[in-house]
Structure 1
């Protein structure tokens, strides 16, 4: 069983990446959060791996951090949720929002994720609520570049100041797109300006 994979990033696609490790290119399915933090083509990356083996396939699912992988593993214990749907669920909401939805039993919010119907949303909220204690600590994915880490720090700071996480993420991304991501303070101030509009 493959537990982690370290190597050079060969290809990067929205739902999978190819990593060259020891001359072998491994296709690894990743959620959006891991995809957005993995780095650029040619860079060395490390992913935690869940190896899914069936009689006809071997599939690798990669995660930037243990918290995300653990949530994935808990999701696939629920009847009707396989690895592909679990990745879709992790991609559908930021991890903190997904955990909050499960904690408060907000099945309606979960049904906004493609592929999650009313019954599946209710099952997720009901079955995972007790299992979430180990996932309460915040974690930054491994292999995140300084600018990605800085962006996450700005988002966390904005959320700690009372901003909505989705609005904070959007503002930080927009500020980065404007070229403001040179220093934490500048990125923070510009993000605050964008949120207050």
Structure 2
């Protein structure tokens, strides 16, 4: 099983990226919390990996922090939570936000996640209450890379990437497009657009 990858970042389009490791290109999905911290294309990158083996595919999920990966693994153990929903949870809520939501049994925080309704939010909070008691003790700064994400070179590309990211999170294409358009300003990169669009959608 693959637990960690170190290579050169070749492509990034949220939530997907391509990592060159010794001449082999690995396709990964990452939460937006990790995507925000990716270095520029062509720079080295190390990520913690969850390797999922299915009958029809082998899927790789990458995480900037080790505790993000551990949180992802806890989430997909829950009934009805697959990798897509787990990524949406970690993309919409930072780890500390998720921990606080569970500790306070705050269903409104989870309602910000696309595809999560009131009943699902309450069920997830209840099931996570015992599981994540150890999460606050995880190291908060177990970073795998040190570079920050580079601004998008073209405004249209940034907007397209932001729309793609929202669609990948579960928002409908027209809804994602309207949200990005409503916050689009000259000079904003894809990360800033995603953050603002998520606030608008919330």
Q: Same fold (TM over 0.5)?
A: yes
Q: Structure 2: which 5+ runs fail to align?
A: 150-186, 189-202
Per-residue deviation, 1:142: 1.5
Per-residue deviation, 1:134: 2.3
TM-score (norm 2): 0.69
User: Residue in 1 aligned with 2:32?
Assistant: 32
1:97-145: CA deviations, max 9, x gaps?
1111111111122012101122221122111112223211422421022
User: Residue in 1 aligned with 2:9?
Assistant: 9
Per-residue deviation, 1:79: 0.7
Following the alignment from structure 2 to structure 1, what is the Cα–Cα distance between the partners of residues 55 and 89? 25
* Aligned 8 A contact 1:67 1:139 in 2: no
Between 1 and 2, higher relative CO (CA 8 Å, sep ≥ 6) is seen in 2
Residues 43-192 of structure 1 mapped to structure 2, 5 A cutoff? 43-137=43-137, 138-145=140-147
* Aligned 8 A contact 1:80 1:120 in 2: no
TM-score (norm 1): 0.71
1:49-86: CA deviations, max 9, x gaps?
00111111111000011111111111101111101110
Following the alignment from structure 1 to structure 2, what is the Cα–Cα distance between the partners of residues 113 and 78? 16
* Aligned 8 A contact 1:78 1:123 in 2: no
User: Residue in 2 aligned with 1:22?
Assistant: 22
Aligned residues: 149
> Cα RMSD between the aligned structures?
1.7
* Larger of the two Rg values belongs to structure: 1
* 2:36 partner SS: helix
